[in-house]
Structure formats: C-alpha cells, structure tokens
A and B are shown apart, each in its own frame.
Chain A
Amino acid sequence: MGAKAYIYLEDGTTFTGEGFGSSNTVRCGELVFTTSMNGYPESLTDPSYAGQILIITHPLVGNYGVPKKMNDNGILVNFESEKIQVDGLIVSELTKSDKWNGKLNLGRWLDDEGVPGIEGIDTRLLTKKVRDHGVMMCAISTKGRLKNPKEVLSKDYTKINFVEQLSPKKPIVQDVYDKNIVVVDCGAKHGILRSVSKLKYNVVRVPYNYTADKIMSYDPVGIVYSNGPGNPNLLTDVVKSMQDLMHYKKPILGICLGHQIASLAMGGKVRKMKFGHRAVNKAVVDQISKRAYITSHNHGYAMTPQDMPKKGKIWLMSPDDNVVEGAIYKEKNMITTQFHPEGRPGTNDAGFVFGMFDEMIKKGK
C-alpha cells in the first residue's frame, strides 16, 4: 500500500487516500471525470486533458497495464501523445496487470512520467460533486498534507493557454504519400493523425498559430483543425488563421476544439459547460437522416443551437442535452464535429467522418 496522499478542492473539501505514481509531488488542475470504462492509456495521453486532474469512474483501473509504444510513420498507434498529459489521476483502486501486452503497470508508468495518482477514494462521491458543483480546481499531493492548499489552488484553468504549451514549435512533416493534409496541431491526438494518414495523405502537423499563408505553403488538399485543451476563446490567432484560410475554399475538418474554433471563426459562440462531456458512450443524432451514432467525447466547452453561426447548419445533435455535436458550413467547404470520430478511447461508429472529408477533398479536384 502506498503512502498517504491528499486531494484538495476549491470548495474546501479534502480527501485522503493512498498515493501512487510520482511521490513527493504536488500538482493542481481542473477536476474532471471520464466515464469510459477502459482505454486509460489513451485518455491519460490525450492532450485535451492537459491542465486537468482526471477521475476515472470505473473502480478498477490498470487491469491490463500499459503497452509498449508502437509507432507507424511517426504516428503513435496506441497512445494519443508522447507523454501523460493529465496533472493527476484519481481512482478507486489501482490494479496490477498480467496481460501479455502490458509492458508496465499503470502505477509505474505514472511514476516514470512524474505524475501523481491517488487511490482509495470514493470516486462516485467525487464525481457527483463535480456534477453538482461543476468543474473546479483541485490539488493533489503525494508530498504530505498541504499547509496552504488555497495557494496551490489559485490557478485559473480558463485563463491558461495550454495550446501554446502543447502545440509543436516547428512543423512535423510526413513523407510517405503524394499529397499533404495540414493538421493545425493544437494538441492533436495521434488517433486523429492516424485516421488522416489512413486516407493516404501525408500528415503535416503545424504549430497552432501558423498563418493561413504558411499553411497553404504546404499545398494541402485539406486542412484539419485538431482537438486541444483549454478555453477556445483565448485562441484568437487560430480563429484568425482559419478565417483567412477559408478564402482558399480548401476542405476543412474541425474536431473538438477545431469545431469550436470554426464556430468562433464564423461568428458563433462557445461557452464553458458545467462539467463537460467526457465519455465514450454518448449519442449524436444526424438531424437529416435520423441515423444516430455512439461516439467518444472529451470537451468542457460547447456550442448550443442558439450560439450557432448563422451561415452554418446543424448536422448532429446530442439527444440528451442541448449541444451541437456536428456542423456543416457548406459555403466554406467545412465540416466539424464536437465529438471524436477517431475514438481512442471509444467507438469507431462515426469513423465515416474521415471518409466524408476525403470525399470533399476528391470532389474539390
């Protein structure tokens, strides 16, 4: 059993459990939960979780360990980025693995990456707290009790530009196929990169603040605005580059943060949600065909129909709350989804979105 570890919440409550992962560590982040029952290697490395402390609601975590990193032309096959992105992990029980492909135990992996974890917590209680109160800042300590948790908790998630920290500083260019797709990398999941690459285009990842001209210098057949962490309203330069880029009428696919950027670029609004969508079990309904899909979600900001830009059309809606899950901007040759068609973790039911994007590219020629 690990040494005692502590979590402190913005509302003054404290919980005690046992620490794992990195010892002697204090981190602060926005407290969020995911209801995905597996896929923790993918979740923990998802850059959209940067700046956040993650509760996994399923009580046993770590059962199949952590696999060896596999790489396909510079894109990770089984992780979403090169490192653990969360600032801390909260589980009910950390387990050990005996699986054939589990290279490391989860606790060891967190330790290797300097990330603290805590187990022995009533995660349902904590989840309900987040649900009822909304997301809040949280401090996690494997360094003993904090003398002044308020100080640690004073960070404001909504005001930090995490994209700036995560986006590559220089373009990362694949050279396998004839044609290029530029991914404006705001902290892109490798699942998205891989789905694009599977369309048989080179993936060109560019820094988030690349201008339209610089993007076009790669002569892309299409542009993807990726997912990424944090508040989209801080990303004025990305919004600007997208507005400029639209003049080229190149097919654009926006995913998650990319969907929100598109809304802002088109004059819509994006607001912070109470506690977000972080799950792999959520429905989206096609407003025209009435077909519906179970999809993977990870977002704390969203757009409602009232906030929808005038020139866009609502494509997919969540049947459970009032969130626009997909939009089509025909005039601008752009489609966007709030959810993750690449899954990882999660279903491949909406994988056809990449196929649609490919069709847009092929039609454009």
Chain B
Amino acid sequence: MKKEILAILTVIVLLCSCTQSSDDVVGSYEAIPLVVNKPSNFPDIVYNLDNNQVTEAGFELGKKLFYEGKLSANNAIPCAFCHEQAFAFTHHEHTVSHGLNGGVGKRNAPPMQNLAYQSEFMWDGAATHLDLLSIIPITSEVEMGETLSNVLSKLKADPYYQTQFEKAFKNGAINSENMLKALSQFMVMMVSSNSKYDKYVRQEGNVSFSKKERDGLDTFKNKCASCHATDLFTDQTYRNTGLPINPRLNDKGRFVIFENSDDLYKFKVPSLRNIEKSKPYMHDGRLSSLEAVLNFYDNGMVENGGLVDPIFKKEDGSLGISLTPYEKESIIAFLKTLTDNEFLTDDRFAEF
C-alpha cells in the first residue's frame, strides 16, 4: 500500500516538475562553450571555470554588461568608461579617474588582461575573487555609484537582458550571481599572450629580438624579474616601492585591508604587459613615461614612512636599482615587445 502511494506520488511530482521546468526555461538556454586561452608560457589558470563555464551567450552578455551604462547610477558610466581597449583597458592619459557626479578616485585604473590567471585584484588586493571584483567600482560613490539591486531592476526591465540571461544561464535568472558570472566570463576570455615577446619565447614564426631588446631582457631578468615574475610579469605580491607620499591622496595602499602597519603604502606589483599603451604609471598615475619610471627606480626612491621593500636596499644602505642610461634604454625597448596588438584590437572585446 505504502509503496504504491509513493510510486504515484513520485510520478505526480515528476510530471508537475517537468511541466514546470519547460514553462520556465522555454528552451532558450544555449550552452555553446568557449575555451579560455592557455598559452604554453603562462602559469596555471586560477579562476575556477568549472563553477562558471564560459559560453558564447554568457560571454556576449558579459561584454554587453561591460559596455552598459545602466551599471551606474546616472546610466552613463559603463566599466569601459575607465577601461578602454586600445590602452590595455586603462583610462587613457588619466592619472586617477573621474566618475559619477565628477567624483575623483585615488588610483590609476589598472589594465584588464589575463585576469583568469590572478587570485587577487585591485592595487591593494581588495577583491579576492574575480566574480566579486566588479562590485567595488559599481558601488563606489566616485565611480559608478550604484547598488546591485538597482542595476538588476534596470536589467530586468530591458528586453535584451530578459532574453540574454535566459540564453546564458540554465535558470535564466537576472540576479547578482548571474550578472557577476557573465562579467567574469567576459573577463576570463581577455587573455593577452601574443606580443612579440610571447612569440619570441614560444619560438613562433621566426620572431627575433634586436640586440637592444635582448640586452633589455637580460637586464630586466637581473634587476626587475624578481617582482615582475613569470610571463604574467607580476609575482602578485604587495610591495612598498619607496614612492614619496602624495599628501593630497595620502593613499595608504594595502594598509586599508587589514589595518596592519606592515602594509603601509604597499601596492600590488602590476603586470607589465602592454605597458607601452597603459600610461600613466604607478598606482596613482604620477609618472607619465617609462623613462620617468626607470629614473624613479634608479634614483627617486625615498623612505616614505612605511616599510620600503628591503629588496631595494643597496649595499651602501641607499634605496634603488642602479641603472645605466643604456640599461634604461634597452629595458624600454624590451618592454615595448610586450605590446600585444592582437589583443588591443581584438574584435571580440570591442564595443562595436
């Protein structure tokens, strides 16, 4: 008797749920997978792609969101406002950026590339997951000044998003999870790995370095690569590089994350990919040329009140990395081999 009722119950429940799911989804979910590029000279991908399989529809949705003004309070400031593709997704010629109602931030918009290979984001490591990274600029009062729930209401009212979320996600929901996952799908696909340097180290297509570029690479390996490590050109640590404090900003860097005095004025070691295009430089964009950056490391470092990284201590106790004029010139020649024009002009990432 019991078994029969259970069997009937199961059948009824199954029937009901079948009817329901076909009503909800309308069969528009399109799981056409996209593959995240894993160049042979790169370390392993950090982002867990199993939890957020990149699909054509999800990537398209993420791209649309990246260029979507509705993510901001005045509907006019998309992510791309400060992250322009031609400049390695930085805010061209802006030391720090301006956002909602003329609000001005404290830091230089970082380039966006190879994000699937990084575990922490922002100059101070404020975001520890790529999915959660976008929440910071969306909600920052001086950037996009919006709340997640307002963004979601705006998206829910837009027919494009009603359709595209259904194509991109099995449950089709326009919610914070799916919105952030779509943005991540767009971002993990942004791999920059086809610069002259990449082709040189992977020995592709007879690419060769000039003598100056080779000398620059050698000097770079000796004097810079302990921090700008691996072919991501960052060891992803936070360091105080002895930059004088700008009293107007008084940016304490990673200190704000843990309020630990050892972290005063520490900032994340940035990648150097596409560095030629992403000026101005340093966390606050104070240096506008690569020459100025190398001159700073050669003779501009100061004790700034925090713990300047001991790696910069010379034998005589002074701070800096001694560089001859030719070393600077050749390092810059080498750095320009990190420009990846395929990435900077890739239609997949372009707004139009």
Whether A and B are associated in the same complex: the answer reads: no
Residues of chain B touching chain A, judged by Cβ–Cβ distance below 8 Å, are none
Query: Which residues on A are within 8 Å of B, measured CB to CB?
Result: none
